[in-house]
């Protein structure tokens, strides 16, 4: 394969291979009910029934200890226009900074769970900690989704409408990108002239 370089796992410096990935904000309360949040690009929906969402968090993060303690968290998605929240959430630690105050965000309590919801999102999930899977140097916190908040202007019946909001994707190395709406294209097997 010309042009393809083979790298051994131990030689890989940064793992940006599967990027871009949608980035989210994970929030949790501390024992004094102070909110904290962090950026999480290693996140994914995991199951429809039951509804599960996973966030992979290093034990080095302050948020890690908050979720271990409170056993619940929220996951929220912000449009590209609001990406400063991801820079703040991903480059400052709640151990040293009140990030919510620094960002000038309003905090609401979840509708069904005692989790922080920071204003401005287009989608947010309230999650109970279902279980933790230690994967390696990160722990996968599997959240059981108990409540969903969706901006109705953004979500049509078939999910996010690119015309409603531009999601924020992360490329690694402090670089963010969004989708190009002009590439929107629905394609089926019939278009490929494949009949099943
Ligand atoms: C865009 C972006 C995405 C990130 N994704 C993750 C992630 O998926 N998991 C993780 O453990 N850290 C991730 N980080 C790093 C944490 O967000 C960062 O260490 C943060 O300061 C932790 O905050 P805390 O100490 O208040 O919990 C990311 C950072 C950035 C900038």
- Check residue 196 and give its pLDDT: 84
Give residue-wise pLDDT tens across range 104-118. 999 999 999 999 999
Q: Which residue has the tokens 């995991």?
A: 46
**How far apart are the C-alpha atoms of 135 and 21, rounded to whole Å?**
19
Decide if 23 contacts 39 (C-beta within 8 A): yes
Domains, the chain, ordered by start? 19-180 (2.30.110.10)
Give residue-wise pLDDT tens across range 176-189. 999 988 888 889 99
Sign (positive or negative) of CA dihedral 70, 115, 123, 14: negative
Query: Relative to the CA of 42, which ligand 1 atom is closest?
Result: 8
Helix (H) or strand (E) holding 99: helix 99-103
Give residue-wise pLDDT tens across range 121-179. 999 999 999 999 999 999 999 999 999 999 988 887 777 776 778 999 999 999 999 99
Long-range contacts of 129-132 (CB under 8 A, 24+ apart): 129/67, 129/71, 129/72, 129/73, 130/50, 130/52, 132/68
* Most ligand 1 atoms within 8 A of CB, residue of 56, 90, 101, 139 to mutate: 90
With a pLDDT cut of 90, the percent of the chain lying above it is 87
CA of 99 to the centre of ligand 1 (A): 13
CA of 26 to the centre of ligand 1 (A): 9
* Most ligand 1 atoms within 8 A of CB, residue of 89, 134, 139, 172 to mutate: 89
**How far apart are the C-alpha atoms of 41 and 19, rounded to whole Å?**
9
The residue whose CA is least distant from atom 23 of ligand 1 is 93
Q: Which residue has the tokens 């024992």?
A: 31
Stated pTM of the model:
0.96
Q: What is the dihedral of CA 116, 57, 98, 145, to 10 degrees?
A: 0
Protein residues whose CB sits closer than 6 Å to any atom of ligand 1: 23, 36, 38-42, 56-58, 61-63, 86, 89-95, 138, 170
């Amino acid at each position: 394969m010309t042009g393809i370089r083979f790298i051994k796992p131990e030689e890989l410096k940064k793992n940006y291979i599967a990027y871009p990935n949608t980035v989210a904000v994970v929030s949790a309360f501390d024992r004094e009910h102070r909110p904290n949040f962090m950026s999480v690009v290693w996140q994914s929906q995991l199951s429809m029934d039951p509804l599960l969402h996973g966030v992979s968090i290093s034990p080095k993060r302050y948020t890690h200890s908050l979720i271990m303690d409170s056993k619940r968290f929220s996951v929220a998605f912000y449009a590209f226009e609001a990406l400063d929240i991801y820079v703040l959430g991903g480059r400052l630690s709640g151990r040293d900074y009140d990030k919510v105050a620094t960002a000038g965000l309003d905090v609401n309590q979840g509708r069904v769970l005692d989790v922080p919801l920071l204003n401005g999102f287009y989608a947010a999930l309230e999650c109970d900690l279902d279980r933790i899977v230690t994967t390696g140097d990160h722990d996968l916190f599997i959240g059981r989704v108990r409540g969903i908040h969706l901006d109705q202007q953004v979500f049509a019946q078939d999910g996010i409408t690119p015309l409603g909001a531009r999601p924020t994707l992360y490329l690694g190395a402090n670089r963010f990108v969004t989708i190009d709406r002009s590439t929107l294209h629905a394609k089926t097997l019939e278009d490929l002239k494949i009949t099943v």
